[in-house]
Amino acid sequence: MAGGRELLIFAAVFLLLLYALYRYRSSQIPFRRICLSVTVIGVCCRLFFLFFTPTFYAPDEQAHFNYVKYLYDNRSFPVQTTRTGAPTNDWEYYQPPLYYLVSAPIYATSMTSFNGDHHTSVRMIRLLSILLWGINVLLALKVLDNLRVKNTFVKTFVISMISFLPTYASLSSVVNNDNLLITLGGAILYLLSKKRSVSNSLVLAVVLGLALLTKLTAVIYLLLIVAMLLLQWMRKRLSFSSAGFHLVLILVLAGVVASPWYVRNVIVYGDITAEKIANIRVHWPSTSYALQFIQQYMKESFWSVAGIRNNIRFLPTAGIYLSYLALVGLLYGLVLRRREMVDFFEDEGTAFLTASALAIVANIALVFRFAVLYSQGQGRFLFPMLIPISLLMAIGLKMLGITRLSRNAHLFPVAFFLAYLLSFMSHTSKIFVQLW
């Protein structure tokens, strides 16, 4: 449960921001200007994490950094020989290489310009993470445009969540391969929200292949693509032969792009994913304990954690209760206001959201699987689907009539998420100062 002091800080900041936004007649400000302001503040908050998060005091940051360093030093791919938690901090060596290959030139520049200072090298690579987040914001806006979302509350909620979600703000300011995967996923979502064409599927296949070369969890996008094509066929937007053609085209080309790495895994490790090489199996005292621990840890780490082992937390219950409220709104809309939910989007948008919802469920299942096996069910593993998660949450809250509370209701998500992030930053800064 949240402490009374934490709750008081969050409530005070939220009310102060809400008053300030109302005071300056923000309802008259176009969404474009709101979006620009949110993005600029998001950049500033990430620069705070970039500079003030102690070096390697982020999840697996030193292990990710050592992968980049190995590529620079050896000009070859590493081979995984140790397990998670090893003092050598090299347990990410089994990961697909794309993120580390992209980071290697930055590391090389820092080595030649700053005499091999690792503190500077880490912060230079962290800048890449902020850039990737910025690209993801632009892709989210493109997805909203493709889906023809007109409601200002929904659009503002999506951009506010992507910009101010505390865990994502922290993650997108440190060295971690999730950042490239999330942005490539944003590109996949953008391409899926467009009208289907051969050129679109060709680009989609290449991006999917690159995502599979970034992290194993990119498989969730493959499930999303299959679900989308299946729904388009069922809704008669594509013929069976056309849907099959696009699916085969995407699978074959993505396989061509990604398969060399996975063939290497089979040759080197005797396993296509190699996840068993680095990760240590956990034995739970009971099934009920495992399920309770995993679901609670996943929810909390999705919303507001930082630190080397997600040990810094600030009021995760605020986000958890908001997600419960949004889920109630979605169920209410599906059962009692189904027509309004269907009319919210055109036919393609409905198919996109349905496929995304199925992919989110599959994503949760995959995270649960990884948590059961290795006790690593981190909420950030759901961030590849953050754009549709935020979109569905916004629709759920709208179904509950949040937008009817005030003509300035679109300011609620800005105030809520910004207050959440600023309070989180205040809390983490005290811990960072002690570590410095």
The type of residue at 248 is: V
Q: Which of 14, 56, 339, 1 is nearest to 175 (CA)?
A: 56
The 10s digit of each residue's pLDDT in 370-406 is 999 998 889 999 999 999 999 999 999 998 888 777 7
Q: At what angle do helices 411-435 and 4-23 cross, to 10 degrees?
A: 130
Question: Which residue range is the domain that position 29 belongs to?
Answer: 4-193+278-435
The 10s digit of each residue's pLDDT in 334-358 is 887 766 666 655 556 888 999 999 9
Tell whether the model's pLDDT for residue 29 goes beyond 80.
Answer: no
Q: Are 71 and 108 in contact (CB under 8 A)?
A: no
The type of residue at 130 is: I
Instruction: Please indicate, yes or no, if residue 227 is contained in any of the structural domains.
Output: no
Q: What is the CA radius of gyration of the chain?
A: 22
Instruction: Please indicate, yes or no, if residue 146 is contained in any of the structural domains.
Output: yes
Residue 269: other Cβ atoms inside 10 A: 17
Q: What's the CA gap between 267 and 276, in Å, rounded?
A: 15
Instruction: Please indicate, yes or no, if residue 250 is contained in any of the structural domains.
Output: no
Instruction: Please indicate, yes or no, if residue 205 is contained in any of the structural domains.
Output: no
User: Which range (5-14, 68-77, 426-435) has the least confidence?
Assistant: 5-14
- pLDDT above 90 covers a percentage of the chain that reads 70
Instruction: Please indicate, yes or no, if residue 307 is contained in any of the structural domains.
Output: yes
Model confidence, pTM: 0.93
Instruction: Please indicate, yes or no, if residue 217 is contained in any of the structural domains.
Output: no
94: confidence class by pLDDT, cuts 50, 70, 90: very high
Q: What angle do CA 81, 83, 87 make, to 5 degrees?
A: 95
Instruction: Please indicate, yes or no, if residue 418 is contained in any of the structural domains.
Output: yes
Instruction: Please indicate, yes or no, if residue 213 is contained in any of the structural domains.
Output: no
Q: How many domains, the chain? A: 1
Instruction: Give 371 or 117, the one with higher predicted confidence.
Output: 371
Q: What is the mean pLDDT of residues 117-122?
A: 90
Q: What's the confidence (pLDDT) of residue 335?
A: 82
Q: Which of 1, 13, 3, 7 is nearest to 417 (CA)?
A: 13
Q: What is the mean pLDDT of residues 278-286?
A: 91
